[in-house]
Amino acid sequence: MGNPLGPILANIFMAHLEESMIFCGPNIVQPTFYRRYVDDTFCLFTTKEEAERFLVFINNLHPNIQFEMETESDGKLEFLDTVVERRPDSTSHRTSTKVKQTDKGIYYHYSSFIPDSYKLNKIFTLVYRAYRIASDMSVFHVDVEKLKKRLRLNGFPTHLIDQVTSKVLMRYHAQQDNQQDTQQPDRERVYIALPYLGPVSIILKRQLTKLVQKFYPSVQLKVVFRRGFRISNLFNYKDKFPIACRSMIVYYIQCKKCGPSQAYIGKTINSLYERFHASGTGHLHPNNIESALLKHCVESNDPECAFHFDDVKILESGRFDEEIRFIESILLKYDRQNLNTCERSIELKVV
């Protein structure tokens, strides 16, 4: 789901299957509990055989969809970032926060040069996540103790973790809602990004917020900090990508002596160096008997006629093969060279 539209399309497709096929099919065993997040589904069945029958049914709904089933082990089943555990009485379940085996517990260090509010929000988010997932306060206590250990390894002080934990419990567990926020009228949120330069940035944020609140009461200013200094700021230019390693390009090369009268335009999806020096197929490889560049050097019988890799020029680049093929076809159509004699014109279609 690398494409930004992936989750949206997956949701639409799964919702269509649920409404039209999964819960409307005749003589189908239905789960006693069904919840889905994008393409991850959590179901409860009376027996394992019913779950297997349901799996076979949904896998036959569409040729482009294939579900896999994970069953509980030792009374536990992991779903997303939650561990669901069957209680001894088998009549209820309890949930706790899942920690992946690959999780090293590495966060940004407390001494990092970032605003203190970001550090507090980090603790708040992790504690609130544990509170929402935990099925009871005993599970929440165990999860918070594990979280404290990971945070302390990253330099976070214990008293600060306890302070934020208390705020989470006071705000949500004790159900003490902030009445002031609910009574205020809706205000337009305006975001502004500023470089973080230490305490001076915090002072500037406070002053800007007060000014906007005084002169523009209908606006709620949100100041977001970004990194104010990077290692790249020490250098005037970025390192250039070596031309020999460039791929998906259209290139141009001409004879050292003849110049533009003996030139070649081509394209390659591989690296430029491989296109010119690959064994048996490279333009300048001695064993390539079909190389138009080497044929010109042999037929001219002039030692000064030669092609040097350092003289290659990149004309255009693309993201996929078809795109650079069109570019190459257009350039060859206007005959900007004469060594590439292959008929490479591609019909362009406007859709």
**8 Å CB contact between 55 and 67:** yes
pLDDT of 26: 61
pLDDT of 351: 47
d(CA 331, CA 268): 14
pLDDT of 251: 92
DSSP state of 89: T
Strands (E), the chain: 33-37, 40-44, 76-79, 82-86, 93-97, 188-196, 219-227, 249-255, 259-268, 313-317
Q: At what angle do helices 137-153 and 158-168 cross, to 10 degrees?
A: 150
Q: Provide the token pair at 20.
A: 């039209």
Task: Kindly report the pTM of this predicted structure.
Answer: 0.56
Query: What b/e readout covers 209-244, taking b as 16+ CB neighbours within 10 angstroms?
Result: eeebeeeeeeebbebebeeeeeeeeeeeeeeeeebe
Query: Tokens 């900090």 identify what position?
Result: 225
d(CA 344, CA 264): 13
Residues in the chain predicted with pLDDT less than 70, given as ranges, are: 1-3, 25-28, 90-91, 174-185, 228-229, 232-233, 236-239, 335-337, 342-351
Other CB atoms within 10 A of residue 264 CB: 20
Single-letter code of the amino acid located at 236: N
d(CA 331, CA 100): 53
pLDDT of 17: 82
CA-closest candidate to residue 190, choices 224, 166, 158: 224
d(CA 118, CA 225): 10
Sign of torsion over alpha carbons 60, 61, 65, 68: negative
Other CB atoms within 10 A of residue 9 CB: 11
CB-side neighbour CA atoms (13 Å) of 88 = 0
pLDDT of 250: 92
pLDDT of 70: 87
- Ordered by start, the domain boundaries in the chain are 6-71, 93-177, 188-234, 243-333
Q: Provide the token pair at 320.
A: 């996929």
Q: What SS3 class is residue 267?
A: strand
d(CA 132, CA 281): 61
**8 Å CB contact between 253 and 307:** yes
pLDDT of 208: 92
